[in-house]
């Protein structure tokens, strides 16, 4: 078992002292809408720096698969989509998941890839455009693993692969990965991270959440291996840690690595990688030691406590245990989680007072916003300037267009 005391972060600056921030943390906030606006301006407008990346504020755009990149190539419409959010004062753009260069990595030929001359040229245009608008941007690097739909693009004859040849529900699917498969996927992630730095991105995020390939190794429900990549929780982190280490070796010291993680899986919302803080420490320590700079803790509702006896959410616990900065995410600014959108349901705009409470006590470092930024590209600007009454509500129909 691993000691769950905090590990010191490296090359991270998150504490920016201003009179407004001091007032927000140290005195009673003014009541009503004006008080919330002042708190939002003081708390969310602080810059965030890790290694060579500086985001101008604490608001990030969460990665959301949109499927508007025919043949895996992001076009000008994708560049405009992200740039509108950067121009609307989002500090950090985390792109939708992008497939690494492995035949089984993807499951749609309309999801962007992060390899090949055309796709990388498209992504350079996206990064340059976001930078001109004042934002920072990192790509999310992705392999879907055994969740791949057989016969789907971008490589129709590619076989789904995973730790044990099992679906997330435990049924036989695809095949178990060989050592050569493991080596090839690790190299694909490292190549993508190096490409991201070469193209001028400000960092990269590894998608280790939601039941996709990296997460399939972390979770006992899908990892039944008996070699060094399976077994107890620490052993199940080996594949993820080797990917992180390979990416760290492929980029410069100035280039930060983010790691997205979750307890829940795409068809198992009650799944738990870690049922106690101690187990969470066992999971986080190898990843932090391998080179993760920031953890992006994905939850469906950010305000829910992760473990009994504390109101800390998952991002809060991850920060406390790992000593690394964290992003929180999950229904920020909306009254329902994202699964309701897939059922055709709309969501109403809600306040962020509890979010500010948690930020003011440094429970986490950044806030990733999803559907609220699909509905309103200016959500960040309106929130920072006290114009929340003007925020456009989310409707499920908005998922059908790239606006």
Which of the residues are catalytic? 212
Please report, for residues 92, 96, 251, 282, the alpha-carbon distance to residue 200 in angstroms, rounded to integers and kept in the order given. Answer: 14, 17, 12, 34
Closest by CA position to 219, among listed 176, 184, 170: 170
N- to C-terminal Cα distance for the chain? 48
Instruction: Please list, in sequence order, all residues whose beta carbon lies within 8 angstroms of the beta carbon of residue 204, skipping any fewer than 6 positions away.
Output: 138, 139, 140, 141, 192, 193, 196, 197, 247, 251, 255, 257, 258
Q: Which two tokens stand for residue 211?
A: 């039941």
Return d(Cα 108, Cα 153) in angstroms, integer.
5
Q: Strand, coil or helix: what is 364?
A: coil
Helix ranges (H only) for 251-378 are 277-290, 314-322, 339-342, 353-360, 371-375
């Amino acid at each position: 078992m691993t000691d769950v005391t905090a590990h010191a972060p490296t090359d991270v600056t998150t504490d920016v002292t201003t009179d407004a921030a001091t007032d927000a943390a140290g005195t009673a906030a003014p009541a009503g809408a004006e008080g919330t606006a002042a708190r939002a301006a003081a708390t969310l407008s602080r810059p965030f720096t890790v290694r060579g990346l500086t985001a101008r504020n604490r608001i990030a755009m969460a990665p959301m698969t949109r499927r508007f990149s025919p043949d895996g190539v992001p076009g000008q419409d994708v560049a405009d989509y992200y740039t509108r959010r950067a121009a609307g004062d989002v500090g950090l753009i985390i792109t939708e998941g992008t497939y690494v260069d492995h035949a089984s990595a993807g499951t749609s030929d309309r999801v962007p890839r992060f390899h090949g001359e055309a796709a990388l040229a498209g992504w350079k245009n996206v990064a340059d455009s976001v930078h001109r608008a004042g934002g920072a941007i990192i790509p999310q690097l992705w392999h879907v693993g055994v969740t791949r739909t057989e016969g789907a693009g971008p490589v129709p004859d590619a076989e789904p692969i995973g730790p044990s040849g099992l679906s997330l529900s435990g049924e036989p699917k695809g095949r178990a990965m060989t050592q050569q498969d493991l080596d090839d996927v690790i190299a694909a992630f490292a190549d993508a991270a190096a490409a991201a730095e070469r193209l001028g991105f400000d960092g990269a995020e590894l998608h280790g959440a939601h039941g996709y390939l990296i997460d399939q190794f972390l979770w006992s429900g899908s990892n039944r291996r008996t070699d060094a990549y399976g077994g107890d929780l620490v052993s199940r982190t080996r594949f993820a840690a080797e990917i992180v280490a390979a990416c760290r070796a492929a980029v410069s010291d100035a280039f930060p690595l983010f790691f997205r993680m979750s307890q829940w899986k795409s068809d198992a919302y009650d799944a738990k990688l870690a049922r106690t803080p101690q187990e969470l420490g066992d999971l986080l320590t190898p990843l932090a030691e391998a080179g993760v700079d920031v953890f992006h803790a994905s939850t469906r509702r950010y305000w829910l406590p992760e473990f009994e006896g504390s109101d800390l959410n998952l991002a809060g616990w991850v920060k406390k245990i790992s000593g690394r900065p964290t992003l929180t995410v999950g229904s920020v600014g909306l009254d329902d989680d994202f699964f309701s959108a897939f059922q055709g349901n709309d969501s109403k705009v809600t306040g962020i007072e509890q979010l500010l409470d948690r930020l003011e006590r440094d429970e986490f470092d950044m806030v990733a916003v999803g559907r609220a930024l699909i509905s309103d590209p200016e959500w960040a600007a309106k929130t920072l300037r006290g114009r929340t009454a003007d925020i456009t509500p989310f409707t499920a129909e908005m998922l059908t267009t790239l606006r």
